[in-house]
Structure 1
Amino acid sequence: MELKTTRYEIADGVAVVTLSRPRRRNAWTGRMHTEYRWILREADADPAVRVIVVTGDPEGQAFCAGADLQALEGHSEKGGYDPGTPEDLANPGFGVDPHFDASFAYHFGIGKPVIAAINGAAAGVGLVLAAFADLRFSAPGVKFTAAHGRFNFPAEFGLSWVLPRIVGLTHANDILLSSRVFTAEEAMAMGFLNRVVPAEALMGEVTAYARKLAETVAPGSARETKRQIYRDLHRDAASSVAAAEALLVAMAREPDYREGVKAWMEKRPPRWGG
């Protein structure tokens, strides 16, 4: 696929996906969503990729400023919402669990950790992208907002499901019912962010963290642990224990289990086979 609104780079096991519409503050469009889903499908299938980082083009001075306002104006004139995506959209993460087979929920089916490097404003769908990432690092002072209340929209793309599970019902109600702007520092205090990092060091720290995951965590372990986390949001404790025990038996037969033990005993970096 020709990438017009995104960039995609791979180095040292880390794929970096950059939302790149800098003249529009990296605002979301149907084209961007189409490219983003295609990239995630490619990254998930690529054995050279162990971790995925999502960020905004720094020239746009935003992570993602939400839906493009010109597109919203067009929807208003047409009298209805149009996602602007083709029928043959890529379906990254689909088929793992029916609970994940929907827009943005597909992040949970992707078998690799997804880290949001939030280098500027995250509004509307930008907040959605951050929320559905597995880990969130942000520059100081970044502004967040759900934004939907200003446009007579509902809470978008599952925010009403995912935010209470990240920050609790009290904070989620504040964010979603008010559509107010809140800062990275507030987001950190709520538990929405993993770290706040100086802007000039953000990508360096995120990529270092991602490389550490790629080097030290077996790909199979990362994949199954991630899926356990999100599946367990829908099942009881006994079912979680039973599933974990079955996975333990199966994964102990894999070569990367033997490699992990051997590397630990020999005090050397593991050589994962994936």
Structure 2
Amino acid sequence: MELHVTQHEIKDGVGLLRLNRPERGNSWTHRMNAEYKEIIESFERDPAVRVIVVTGAGRAFCVGADFRALEHHQDSKKDYIQASAELEMATPGHGIHPEFDHELIWHWGLSKPVIAAINGACAGIAVALAAFCDLRFAAAGAKITTSTARLGLPAEYGLSWILPRLIGLAPAVDILLTGRVVPAEEMHALGFLHGVLPREDFEQQVLARAREMAAAVSPIAVKTMKRQIYAEQLHLMPGAAIEKSRELTAQLLKHPDCREGVAAMKDKRVASFLPLSATQ
């Protein structure tokens, strides 16, 4: 697919995806969604990529849905859900769990960690996108808003489910029902963000963390833990989680990465872990 509204690059084990409509605040469109999925799927297949970083070009991360797209759907005679389903798109993260085969939650089906680098304004669907990433960092002073209460729309793309689980019910109700603008510093205090970093060189700071992660952790261990963490959010059975973890431990004890990790720790050196293969 020819890319018009995104950019990507791979360096030092990190796949960087940049939403690239800076003149419109990187506002979200069906085209951007298609390109986003295409790039993420390519990162997922590439053993050279161990960590994925998503950010925005210019001053904004993503200001939400493009207003022209909203107006199109308002005026269109086509059903919104049917019109969206007509578009052919890649399906990264699918086939792992039925609940993950939906918009944005498919991030949980990926085998690699995804870091949202919120470099500026983050609104609407962009808040949901970040919420379904694994780690979230924001630039100091970045403004975050779910916004839909002020547009006459519901909590979108699963925010009514994921936001209470990330920050608690009471703060999520406040943020969703008021649609107010929340500074990054408050979202960090609530637990939505893993850190707020200085705006100067923000992208490079996040990439440095991603490179460190890519170099230090076992890809097969990260893949396995992602599957554990997110699948176990869908049930209330801690005993089942313990027994599943015992099964997975038995499997990974025999994996070369475990032997290498133990040896590296004993030798006080950096481990050299294997890349993920298509068979893992």
Q: Residue in 2 aligned with 1:189?
A: 189
Distance 2:204 2:113 in 1: 17
Uncovered stretches (5+) of structure 1, i.e. residues with no partner: none
Q: Residue in 1 aligned with 2:140?
A: 140
Distance 2:160 2:110 in 1: 21
Which of these residues, 67, 70, 73, is aligned with residue 69 of structure 1? 67
Residue 80 of structure 2 aligns with an amino acid whose one-letter code is: Y
Q: Residue in 1 aligned with 2:102?
A: 102
- Please tell me whether residue 251 in structure 1 is matched to residue 252 in structure 2: yes
Distance 2:222 2:210 in 1: 12
Q: How does 1:39-78 map to 2 (within 5 A)?
A: 39-58=39-58, 61-78=59-76
Is the CA contact (8 Å cut-off) linking 1:29 and 1:84 kept in structure 2? no
Q: Residue in 1 aligned with 2:240?
A: 239
Is the CA contact (8 Å cut-off) linking 1:65 and 1:124 kept in structure 2? yes
Distance 1:200 1:185 in 2: 16
- Local SS of the residue matching 1:106: helix
Give 1:141 deviation, angstroms. 1.2
- Please tell me whether residue 81 in structure 1 is matched to residue 83 in structure 2: no
Is the CA contact (8 Å cut-off) linking 1:54 and 1:115 kept in structure 2? yes
Q: CA RMSD in A?
A: 1.4
Q: Residue in 2 aligned with 1:111?
A: 111
Q: How does 1:139-158 map to 2 (within 5 A)?
A: 139-158=139-158
Q: How does 1:32-43 map to 2 (within 5 A)?
A: 32-43=32-43
Q: Residue in 1 aligned with 2:264?
A: 263
Percent of matched pairs sharing the same residue = 47
Residue 61 of structure 2 aligns with an amino acid whose one-letter code is: F
Give 1:86 deviation, angstroms. 4.9
Q: Residue in 2 aligned with 1:204?
A: 204
Residue 65 of structure 1 aligns with an amino acid whose one-letter code is: V
- Local SS of the residue matching 2:99: helix
Is the CA contact (8 Å cut-off) linking 1:124 and 1:148 kept in structure 2? yes
Distance 2:162 2:42 in 1: 25
Give 1:152 deviation, angstroms. 2.3
- Local SS of the residue matching 2:27: coil
Distance 1:17 1:86 in 2: 25
Structure 1 stretches of 4+ moved >4 Å: 82-86
Give 1:85 deviation, angstroms. 6.7
Give 1:267 deviation, angstroms. 1.9
Give 1:84 deviation, angstroms. 5.2
Q: Residue in 2 aligned with 1:2?
A: 2
Distance 1:85 1:20 in 2: 24
Q: How does 1:162-181 map to 2 (within 5 A)?
A: 162-181=162-181
Residue 272 of structure 1 aligns with an amino acid whose one-letter code is: F
Q: Deviations over 1:81-121 (max 9, x none)?
A: 36657532111101111121100000000111110110110
TM superposition score normalised by structure 2: 0.94
Distance 1:165 1:49 in 2: 29
Give 1:247 deviation, angstroms. 0.3
Distance 2:86 2:24 in 1: 22
Residue 63 of structure 1 aligns with an amino acid whose one-letter code is: F
TM superposition score normalised by structure 1: 0.96
Give 1:74 deviation, angstroms. 1.6
Distance 1:43 1:149 in 2: 35
Give 1:150 deviation, angstroms. 2.4
Q: Deviations over 1:117-151 (max 9, x none)?
A: 10110000111111111111101111111111223
Distance 1:177 1:227 in 2: 32
Give 1:260 deviation, angstroms. 1.1
